[in-house]
Amino acid sequence: MKLTDAGEARVRGYLFILQRALVSFMPKDMAHDSLREVESHLRERLAMAPEGQDEKAAIEKILAELGPPLKVAQAFAAEITFDEAVTTGRLSPILRALWMASTSIGGFFAALALFVGYALGSSFVIMALLKPIFPQNVGIHVRDGLPVAFGAIFPAPPNTEVVGGLILVPLFLFAGALTLALTHSAARAFVSWWRGRLKGPLDE
C-alpha cells in the first residue's frame, strides 16, 4: 500500500511520539536504533497491505496491533535491560531486570527472595567490617547463658555480653561472600529464564 499524505502524517506522528517515549527509557543512540527497527517493521507491514482497502482503517489496525508508543518503548527497555543482564552478568543490570520482573506476582516473590539474599550477604560483610571497630556491639548477644540476639546492634541490649571475638570476622566474610555468590548465581539463572519468556516488542 502506498500511503497518501494523510496516511504518512499519521505514521510519522506515531513515530514521533514513540521517539519521545524511547528517549525517556534509554540512551539516545539506543532509542534511535529502536525507532529505526519499529519504523522498518511498520513500513514493511504497510507495504504488504493490499491496495484499494481503506487506508485509515489499515493504518489504525497495524498501529493497534503494534501497541501504544509508551508500551512499545517499555517493551524495548525491558528487552535491552534483560539482554544486558544475561550477557554481562553485572549486578546493576541484573537488579534492574529483577525490578522489572517484580511487576508480576511470581516475579515479585522471586525478586523479593533474591533481594533478601543480596541484603543478607551484604549484612554479613558489613558486620565483618564493624566487628573490629565495635567489638561489644557485633556478634552473638547472650543473656544468662542464652543467645538473645545476633548481629550488629546499637546500643547493645541491656544485661548482655557479646560472645565471639575477632574470629567472627573471617566467618562473617566467608558467610557474606558465599551468600552473595549463591544469590547472584540464582539471580542470573532467574533473569536468563525470564528473558526466555519475555515477549519482544515487535512479536505479533
Kindly report, residue by residue over 30-81, the tens digit of the pLDDT.
889 999 999 999 999 888 888 777 888 889 999 999 889 999 998 888 888 9
Query: Do 174 and 92 belong to one domain?
Result: no
| Confidence class for position 86, pLDDT limits 50, 70, 90 | very high
Cell numbers for 85, please give them. Answer: 543482564
Q: What is the rounded average pLDDT of the residues 89-105?
A: 90
Q: What is the mean pLDDT of residues 106-134?
A: 94
22 pLDDT band (50/70/90 cuts)? very high
Verify that 132 and 181 share a domain, yes or no: yes
Predicted local distance difference test score (pLDDT) of residue 12 = 93
Domain membership flag for residue 129? yes
| Least confident range of 3-7, 13-17, 18-22, 121-125 | 3-7
- Measured N-to-C along each axis, helices 69-88 and 28-48 cross at an angle, to the nearest 10 degrees, of 120
Residue 64 lies inside a defined structural domain of this protein = yes
Per the prediction, the chain carries an average pLDDT of 90
Name the pTM for this structure: 0.75
Domain count, the chain: 2
Predicted confidence at residue 175, as pLDDT, reads 96
> How much is the pLDDT for 48?
87
Whether 203 is in a domain gets the answer no
157 shares a domain with 73: no
Q: How many residues does the chain have?
A: 204
In-domain check, residue 126? yes
For 173, the domain range is: 115-187
Say which residue the cell 536504533 belongs to: 33
From 103, 133, 166, give the residue that closes a domain: 103
Which pLDDT does position 53 carry in this prediction? 79
| Residue 195 covered by a domain | no
Q: Are 127 and 79 in the same domain?
A: no
User: Residue 204's pLDDT is what?
Assistant: 56
Same domain assignment for residues 19 and 93: yes
The DSSP code sequence of 13-67 is: HHHHHHHHHHHTTS-HHHHHHHHHHHHHHHHHHHHHSPTTS-HHHHHHHHHHHH-
If asked whether residues 134 and 182 sit together in one domain, one would say yes
Strands 138-143, 161-163: pairing kind: antiparallel
161 and 97 inside one domain: no
What percent of the chain has pLDDT above 70? 99
CB atoms within 10 A of CB 156: 17
On whether both 47 and 12 belong to a single domain, the answer is yes
Residues 92, 12 share a domain: yes
The answer to whether residues 13 and 79 belong to one domain is yes
Q: Is 10 among the domain residues?
A: yes
Position 51 in a domain: yes
Q: Quick one: pLDDT at residue 55?
A: 86
For the chain, report the end-to-end CA distance as a whole number of angstroms.
20
Query: Are residue 85 and residue 145 in the same domain, yes or no?
Result: no
* 12/90 same-domain check: yes
Give the pLDDT of residue 125. Answer: 96
Q: Is residue 80 part of a domain?
A: yes
